[in-house]
Homo-oligomer: A and B are copies of this chain.
Amino acid sequence: MTLTDLRYLVALARERHFGHAAERCNVSQPTLSVAIKKLEDELAVTLFERSAADVKITDIGARIVAQAEKVLLEAGQIKELATAGRDPLSGPLKLGVIYTIGPYLLPHLIPRVHGAAPSMPLLIQENYTARLAESLKRGDLDVIVVALPFEEPGIVTQAVYDEPFRVLMPAGHAWEADAAIPAARLAEAPLLLLGAGNCFRDQVLEVCPLCRGGEGLQRTLEGSSLETIRHMVATGAGITVLPSSAADPLPEGNPLLTVRPFEAPEPFRRIALAWRVTYPRSGAIDVIRAAILGSPLQGVRPVTR
- Identical copies in the complex: 2
Query: Which residues of chain A in 45-102 are interfacial with respect to chain B, using CB atoms and an 8 Å cutoff?
Result: 45-46, 49-53, 56, 58-60, 63-64, 67-68, 70-71, 74-75, 77-79, 81-82, 85-86, 91-92
Q: Are A64 and B49 in contact (CB under 8 A)?
A: no
Partner of A85, one of B60, B71, B277: B60
Does A249 count as interface, using CB distance less than 8 angstroms? no
Query: Would A49 and B3 be within 8 Å (CB), given that A60-B81, A81-B60 are in contact?
Result: no
Q: Are B68 and A82 in contact (CB under 8 A)?
A: no
> Distance (Å) between the CB of A246 and the closest chain B CB?
33
Query: Would A1 and B277 be within 8 Å (CB), given that A59-B91, A82-B64, A154-B53 are in contact?
Result: no
Q: Per-residue CB proximity of A195-214 to B under 8 Å, as 1/0?
A: 00000000000000000000
Q: Are B85 and A45 in contact (CB under 8 A)?
A: yes
Query: Which residues of chain A in 243-268 are interfacial with respect to chain B, using CB atoms and an 8 Å cutoff?
Result: none
> Distance (Å) between the CB of A98 and the closest chain B CB?
23
Does A112 count as interface, using CB distance less than 8 angstroms? no
Q: Are A49 and B280 in contact (CB under 8 A)?
A: yes
Which residue of chain B is the closest to A2 with respect to CB atoms?
B2
A166 partner residues in chain B, CB cutoff 8 A:
none
Q: Are B91 and A43 in contact (CB under 8 A)?
A: no
Partner of A74, one of B43, B44, B63, B71: B71
Q: Are B59 and A92 in contact (CB under 8 A)?
A: yes
Bound Cα distance A85, B92 (Å): 46
Does A289 count as interface, using CB distance less than 8 angstroms? no
Bound Cα distance A229, B134 (Å): 95
A43-B78, A44-B86, A63-B85 given; name 15 further pairs at CB < 8 Å. Answer: A1-B3, A3-B3, A44-B82, A49-B279, A51-B154, A56-B139, A56-B278, A60-B81, A60-B82, A64-B81, A64-B82, A67-B81, A70-B77, A71-B75, A71-B78
Q: List 28 A-B contacts (CB under 8 A).
A: A1-B75, A3-B3, A43-B82, A43-B86, A44-B82, A44-B86, A45-B82, A45-B85, A45-B86, A49-B279, A49-B280, A51-B277, A51-B278, A53-B154, A56-B278, A59-B92, A60-B82, A60-B91, A63-B81, A64-B78, A64-B81, A64-B82, A67-B77, A67-B81, A68-B78, A70-B74, A71-B71, A71-B78
